[in-house]
């Protein structure tokens, strides 16, 4: 997650450094919804996995139960998609706010500080780009999940078809995992760079839990 900081000892009139600080911390606030989706998404994934395990343990003689469990799993997948879209909307809002930082950088008098700020922008833009990839990959994986649970509701489903769809799902989530790792790496680098910028700008900040 993007770290939040509190500024102490502000001057009466905001400096460009303080305007950058204010904007960056507003960006954190706009990602609150993103943060709030994390644990529920993990819990939904666990519930879905439990349902999947139940489904594949059943034989065709229990087809009615397979259908019922599949419908329950589909509902969970749709809830995951809803939460994912809320997460994405939060990131898009923070991205729009973050773009304002560029205007304040032009007012920085310290050349080194300006370079630090531009590096901060580059890291955050890389972070947004990696999230876009993560979001797209996750949506693709969710699409494969939906197809799987729909397939489970067909009595004509063959083992070959099932194996092929599971292969598609596994490949999709491999891409999700890779994109998520890249996103987390950029987030960590951004947090470190942001704190360094605050310190170099002489801003007295403390981490806000």
What mean pLDDT do residues 172-185 have? 96
Which residue, 5, 45, 44, 42, is CA-closest to 25? 5
pLDDT single digits (tens) 61-83 = 899 999 999 999 999 999 999 99
Fold of 4-208: 1.20.120
Residue 5: pLDDT band with limits 50, 70, 90: low
Domain segments of the chain: what residues?
4-208
Question: Would you call 127 helix, strand, or coil by DSSP?
Answer: helix
**Predicted model pTM:** 0.89
pLDDT attached to residue 205: 74
| Residue 7 confidence (pLDDT) above 70 | no
The structure tokens 């197809």 sit at 147
pLDDT single digits (tens) 113-167 = 999 999 999 999 999 999 999 999 999 999 999 999 999 999 999 999 999 999 9
Report the distance separating Cα 121 and Cα 64, nearest Å.
54
pLDDT single digits (tens) 15-29 = 889 899 999 999 999
Half-sphere exposure for 4 (CA within 13 Å, toward CB): 11
Report the distance separating Cα 199 and Cα 209, nearest Å.
19
Sign of torsion, CA 157 162 163 167?
positive
Report the distance separating Cα 22 and Cα 198, nearest Å.
11
């Amino acid at each position: 997650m993007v770290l939040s900081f509190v500024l102490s000892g502000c001057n009466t009139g905001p400096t460009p450094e303080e305007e950058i600080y204010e904007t960056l911390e507003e960006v954190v606030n706009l990602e609150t919804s993103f943060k709030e989706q994390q644990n529920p998404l993990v819990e939904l994934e666990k519930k879905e996995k439990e349902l999947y395990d139940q489904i594949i343990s059943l034989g065709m003689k229990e087809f009615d139960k397979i259908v019922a469990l599949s419908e329950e799993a589909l509902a969970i997948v749709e809830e995951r998609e809803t939460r994912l879209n809320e997460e994405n909307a939060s990131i898009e809002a923070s991205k729009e706010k973050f773009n304002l930082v560029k205007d304040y950088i032009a007012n920085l008098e310290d050349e080194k500080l300006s370079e630090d700020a531009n590096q901060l922008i580059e890291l955050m833009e890389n972070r947004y780009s990696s999230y876009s990839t993560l979001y797209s990959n996750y949506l693709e994986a969710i699409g494969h999940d939906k197809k799987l649970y729909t397939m489970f509701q067909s009595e004509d489903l063959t083992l070959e078809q099932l194996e092929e769809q599971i292969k598609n799902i596994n490949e999709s989530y491999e891409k999700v995992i890779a994109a998520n790792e890249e996103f987390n790496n950029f987030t960590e680098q951004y947090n470190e760079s942001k704190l360094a910028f605050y310190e170099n700008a002489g801003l007295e900040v403390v981490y806000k839990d």
